[in-house]
A and B are shown apart, each in its own frame.
Chain A
């Protein structure tokens, strides 16, 4: 393909970057962050966690508090404005210029750089083809659907061969089906281009699908950094565990044979622990077969048929019912007793992190 972006992907690092707004609100605690060249890093968290502020610090749309530094390939760019940082940005609201056509939008960055007209035209055509929107070249922006707008925004950001691509909740404004389709497309695009990309989202599915690494943020701090698998399987804190995917929680105490709770004993292989709460995911519990040993016993509180599986909410005498997914045809009735087995490998004890949160 002729997509060649900047010759070498960029590595970015933030050194003790904090951000306090004019009214004294601290939106970002001092943050140290190293983004490897060519990786897709997802900043994930609920609104107000500081993820967008972090992106804006990298972009140059915000300045860190005194003492913070932003480095691009080791060069301090803290005082450089966004205009000179050469980063591509994609916004949730698209930020397309309504006074220009699709092609003019895509070519704007090249026009600013005063590239020869012929080169501008070739590059714009290339970008439109890459995003499969050639047919829209002469349309005005208000003649485009949301999905088409986001394609134009991507084409525009990439046309100038930016050193890094920054995406701020690019799919949030789209409906679910289109979001899935475009997510796949963005994923392919980022892999093909090999560009350093920073992707902000509050949607954990998006984060898992796109990120080489995910940084989960909460209250202006990094809650955990890791690959999607690490974040999912070894959450570092109850917050991360609760924010990513569904997590079952049981309270009780450690006994000699496992974790003792109201509904039974959960197998525990983690050695000595004083946990008063353990966590495990729905996929690590299954309905026990007839005659098989059961770890937990409960009654069906609710059942949702999802087609390929049935999601069961099982009352086990704790604050929250357990969530269990049954893949096989499920004929369990409300109020019926259920016997369950828990995979010991999936059982987590995060109690040591309690204090720090």
Chain B
């Protein structure tokens, strides 16, 4: 009994130590962004000055990031959901291959993807300097996540029979797609959407090469701030980033949770009077 309790105590202590190891830097970073003078320490007092400074200097990168993330979401929805549907319905060897190919942008380092994009399209001046150039990189990187999460949901339902059922009731392809297919992969679409937005907002590897001084995104701005400005400003920037991203992560968690399945027995059959 005593041994058990000691073992539990040790495990708890170890777990807490690991948590602390991971959380302390985050807390320090947040504090740094709120401290008047980080080198003096907390005695110098807390302030929102750095946060406002970031807001003034980098507001545009924040809005640009949000804009790109939403555009990226729109494109991955329009491309990804039908792709997942077709992959599910066809089920041929070719579609398995396409599924694997879609994963490629995740496996290939973002730098390589970015360099490939620049060498291919860098010469198109207007495109190269516009935010859509970054969008293309983000879509390449996030599309697999959308396709995968919709695929996972579609694979768990007997889509073919559901569609046949709808067709037998007179539903055209368009009606079946909007009445049956889309609502039934809603959870996959939601999970994929949150994933895409989160990844797009935080994307650095690709964006670092694809951006121009006029098309900085939030993470690029963050690197910029840490590299060239006071540590407090960089930290305040991190704080703003966290405020944006944490609610998204929480929402993602909530949607990713599988719904509990109830087991329904056939007896007794409740008959209406």
Interface residues of A (CB under 8 A from B): 59, 61, 81-84, 86-89, 91, 93, 95-99, 108-109, 112-113, 132-136, 142-148, 156-157, 160, 166, 174-175, 177-178
Contacts and interface: CB of A to CB of B under 8 A. Distances in A.
A83 B169 CA distance: 7
24 contacts: A61-B164, A82-B168, A83-B172, A87-B168, A89-B165, A89-B168, A91-B164, A95-B164, A99-B183, A108-B179, A109-B169, A112-B169, A112-B170, A135-B270, A135-B271, A142-B261, A143-B262, A144-B264, A145-B264, A145-B265, A147-B269, A148-B269, A156-B169, A160-B170
A130 B256 CA distance: 40
B175 A112 contact: yes
B59 interface: no
A83 B266 contact: no
Contact of A83 (B167, B184, B270): B167
A84 B267 CA distance: 38
A99 B180 contact: yes
Contact of A113 (B158, B170, B180, B184): B170
Contacts of B172: 83
Given A108-B179, A109-B170, A132-B271, 9 more contacts: A97-B166, A99-B184, A112-B175, A135-B271, A145-B265, A148-B269, A157-B169, A160-B169, A160-B170
Contact of B170 (A61, A86, A99, A148): A86
Contacts, number: 91
Contacts of A82: 164, 167-168
B228 interface: no
B186 interface: yes
Interface in B56-87: none
B150 to A, nearest CB: 15
Nearest to B268: A145
Chain B contact residues (Cβ within 8 angstroms of A): what range?
20 to 34
A95 B271 CA distance: 22
Contacts of B157: 98
Contact of B161 (A95, A146, A174, A175): A95
A89 to B, nearest CB: 4
Interface string B22-49: 0000000000000000000000000000
Interface pairs A-B: 9 shortest CB-CB: A95-B165, A109-B169, A99-B183, A89-B168, A135-B272, A145-B266, A95-B161, A145-B264, A112-B170
The residue in B162, B166, B170, B264 that gathers the most chain A C-beta atoms within 10 A of its C-beta is B170
Q: Which of B164, B165, B171 has the most CB of A within 10 A?
A: B165
